[in-house]
Structure 1
Amino acid sequence: MLRARDAMDRAYAQPLDVPALARIAHVSEAHFSRTFRATFGETPHRYLQRRRVERAMFLLRESGRSVTEICFEVGFGSPGTFSRTFHAIVGRSPRTYRKEAAATVVPTCFTMAWTRPSA
């Protein structure tokens, strides 16, 4: 499970699916999905989405790239899916998040702790 999770952490922007991750973990797809959720508390798909959103949060705070560019850079296939997933995890849209982050002057370590997605 750790090998698969590490692969997701390294290659979050790549198209990763359960069969590929199960091969990395050397288990069947069904066993992988069940065990991953039991071990890490969320499905492999949700974990990968959260990692992508975490990276997008950093890019929204630290770069001047457009939301659409960031969407594709972190591995989402469409801006609509990105915005919907970002809002579900963070609680606000990417544009709102960027505006709030720009208005707040707080050390990065505190910002990361406060804004870490919980879902």
Structure 2
Amino acid sequence: MLRARDAMDRSYAQPLDVPALARIAHVSPAHFARVFRATFGETPHRYLQRRRVERAMFLLRETERGITDICFDVGFGSSGTFSRTFRDIVGQSPRAYRKQAAATSVPTCFTMAWSRPSD
């Protein structure tokens, strides 16, 4: 499971599916999905979404790149899915998050700890 999770952390922007991750973990896809959730407390799909959103949060805070560019850079296939997922995990839109981050003059380490998605 750790090998698959590490692969997800490394290649979060690449298209990854359960069968490919199961091959990395050397188990069947059904077993992988069950054990991953039991081990890490969330489905492989949700874990990958959260990793992508965490990276997007960093890019929104630290760069001036467009939101659509960031969406595709972190591995989302559409800006609608990105915005909906971002709002579900963070609690606000990417645009609102960027605006709030720009208005806050707190050191980055505190901002990262405070804004880490809990879902």
TM value normalised by structure 2? 1.00
**Structure 1 runs, 4 residues or longer, greater than 4 Å off:** none
CA deviation vs aligned residue, 1:57-115 (integer Å, no higher than 9, x gap) = 00000000000000000000000000000000000000000000000001111001100
Q: Partner residue of 2:11?
A: 11
Q: Partner residue of 2:38?
A: 38
Runs of 5+ unmatched residues, structure 2? none
Q: Partner residue of 1:25?
A: 25
Distance 1:109 1:60 in 2: 15
C-alpha RMSD over aligned residues: 0.3
Runs of 5+ unmatched residues, structure 1? none
Distance 1:108 1:38 in 2: 32
CA deviation vs aligned residue, 1:24-73 (integer Å, no higher than 9, x gap) = 00000000000000000000000000000000000000000000000000
TM value normalised by structure 1? 1.00
Distance 1:23 1:80 in 2: 30
How many residue pairs were aligned? 119
Matched, 1:60 2:60: yes
Question: Helix, strand or coil for the counterpart of 2:13?
Answer: coil
Q: Partner residue of 1:73?
A: 73
